[in-house]
Amino acid sequence: MLDSILISILWLGGLGLIFGAVLAYAAKKFEVPVDPKIQQIKDLLPGANCGACGYAGCDDLARAINSGEAKASVCSAMSGDKLAEISKLTGVNSGDAQKKKAVVMCSGVGDLSKRKFKYHGIENCREAMIVMQGDKVCEFGCMGYGTCVKACPSNAIKIDHKSGQVKVDESKCTGCGICEKACPKKIIKLIPADQKVQVFCKSIRKGKESKEICSASCIGCGICEKQCKFDAIKMVDNLPVIDFEKCTNCGACTEKCPTKAIRKI
Amino acid sequence: MRLLLIIVSAVLINNFVLVQFLGICPFLGVTRKVETAIGMGAAVIFVMTLASAITYVVQYAILEKFNIPFLQTIAFILVIAALVQFVELVLKKTSPSLYQALGVYLPLITTNCAVLGVAILNINYNYNFIESVIFGAAAAAGFTLALILFACIRERIEYSPIPKALEGFPIALISAALMSIAFMGFSGLI
């Protein structure tokens, strides 16, 4: 009994050792010199391998940056100082980074917004859309079946089970924009990472109609536009649009909003 | 004569991909271009032939002799993994473009069931050493044949008017099924 255990261990270990030695020798013999810069650039990249830059992962992007094929700024998850370091490494100006984050622009979750019917199907927004364009009366509303949650490569999106609100964890979001493409209702948007105030509604219905189907919807009253001292809010199609360049995140608009559709993140 | 039968059987009648459904992953993964299909085929021929030889020696010189045949699977996988690593190192040095084109599918030969399959089938069929090596090479040749044929078909499909819903993988899977049916026609050959 003990013999067979010993023999097994010895032979398998021995085989492993022999192959290891052969491989080690081959690795030396067939060594391909790799530009050490590629490794250095790779270490500076986020390493999430999200693919948002259009290359097959961070390794491939590091190679492309090194060969001058791509600028480091194509990576949307890069911070400014890392970009500067890469610029130093390659000697090429990598361009300016503007870190972004995703926001889900709907507050009408759970019981706040009316549903056309009860959906008993695959838990996926794209599947739910096939049935009468989704179960929400509001065609701009988040259905909450979590397609974006599954799409997110960095696990930054969570659905709050109590309220049904889809939340993006800012500390984890890299701003790659994969969720933006995954959402069939197109209510996820990338905004500058330092932006605090945001309109959490996409409904372009008129106020009365909106109010009937969703108690959290923007009613297009325009109070926020009047509150803003910096002229950063414009009403377009019954919805306030924030000019991120002018917005100072003071929050004056959020205080008077009757439905709290515009608020701080 | 027996060797010839083994070859015909492994390449056509019991084609690994289209009849025994082993190694489907690279069959769909690297058949977008004929060039990569040939490269993958060559790598698999190399790995499978060598793996047949080495696993044969491992089986009869070590496992049977020391009465530890239950280690067959793990020992074979060890052999295959080491071989694939070796091929990867060589390819990286000698043909970087092929190495790039094969990408992740090259390390995936490690877990390619066709390679482990050929090693275990050799033992199950009680082949001797020469027969094992021939069977390994022929099975890999059959694999390559299937890959190249499929790549040719897919290159043509690329420029054909395919219904929108079937574009890409759906039509590839349908053509793979049709090819499989076609290869079943060989079953009465021997």
At residue B152, the pLDDT reads 93
pTM over 0.90: no
Average pLDDT rounded to a whole number, residues A153-172: 85
Binding-site residues on chain B for chain A (CB distance < 8 A): 58, 62, 66-68, 71, 74-75, 78-79, 82, 85-86, 89-90, 92-94, 96, 103
Note the pLDDT of residue A95.
59
Q: Is the pLDDT of residue B102 over 80?
A: no
Q: Residue A144: exposed, middle, or buried by beta-carbon count in 10 A (0-12, 13-18, 19+)?
A: buried
A23-37 per-position pLDDT tens digit: 999 888 888 777 788
Q: How does pLDDT run across B122-134, given as a tens digit for each residue?
A: 999 999 999 999 9
**CB contacts < 8 A (A, B):** 46
Amino acid B24: pLDDT: 86
Whole-number pLDDT of residue A94:
58
Min Cα distance B92 → chain A (Å) is 7
Of A78 and B160, the structure prediction assigns the larger pLDDT to B160
pLDDT given for residue B140 in this prediction: 93
Contact check, Cβ <8 Å, B58/A15: yes
**Is A252 in contact with A229 (CB distance < 8 Å)?**
yes
Q: Which one of A207-211, A252-256, A260-264, B146-150 scores highest in mean pLDDT?
A: B146-150
Q: Which amino acid is at A114?
A: K
Position A18 confidence tier, pLDDT thresholds 50, 70, 90 = very high
User: Is the pLDDT score of A201 beyond 80?
Assistant: yes
In this complex, which of B66, B68, B82 lies closest to A23 when CB atoms are compared?
A: B82
Q: How confident is the model at residue B120 (pLDDT cuts 50, 70, 90)?
A: very high
A31 at B interface, C-beta within 8 A: yes
Residue A97 has pLDDT above 70, yes or no: no
Q: Are A242 and A233 in contact (CB under 8 A)?
A: yes
Q: Which residues pair with A102 in a beta bridge?
A: A190
Contacts of A176 (CB under 8 A, 6+ apart): A48, A50, A51, A52, A76, A77, A153, A154
Instruction: Give the Cα separation of B176 and B18 in Å (integer).
Output: 8
pLDDT value for B130: 93
pLDDT score at A261: 87
H helices of A143-206, in order, are: 147-151, 178-182
* CA gap A45, B66 in Å, rounded: 51
Amino acid at A45: L
Q: What is the pLDDT of residues B37-83, one digit of tens each?
A: 888 888 888 889 989 999 999 899 888 888 888 888 999 999 889 98
Tell me the pLDDT band of B30, cut-offs 50, 70 and 90: confident
Please give the share of chain B, as a percent, with pLDDT higher than 90.
33
Closest-CA residue of B relative to A11 is: B62
With pLDDT > 70 as the criterion, what percentage of chain B qualifies?
Answer: 98
Per-residue model confidence (pLDDT) at position B153: 93
C-alpha angle A89-A94-A95 in degrees, rounded to nearest 5: 155
Backbone Cα Rg of chain A: 26
The pLDDT-based confidence of A134 (bands split at 50, 70, 90) is confident
Residue range B22-49: mean pLDDT, rounded: 85
Residues 6+ apart with CB under 8 A from A156: A102, A168, A169, A170, A172, A173, A174
Cα distance from A16 to chain B (closest Cα, Å)?
7
- Tokens for A104, please give them: 């889900």
Mean of pLDDT values over A148-173: 86
Query: Is the pLDDT at B176 greater than 90, yes or no?
Result: yes
Q: How confident is the model at residue A93 (pLDDT cuts 50, 70, 90)?
A: low
Select from A75, A238, A80, A109 the least CA-distant residue to A185: A109
Task: Report chain B's mean pLDDT, rounded to a whole number.
Answer: 88
pLDDT at position A96: 58
pLDDT exceeds 90 at position B143: yes
Q: In the 8-state DSSP scheme, what is residue A240?
A: E
Residue B175 pLDDT > 90: yes
d(CA B45, CA B139): 8
* CA B168 – CA A102 distance, rounded (Å): 30
Do residues A249 and A196 lie in contact, with contact meaning Cβ atoms separated by under 8 Å? yes
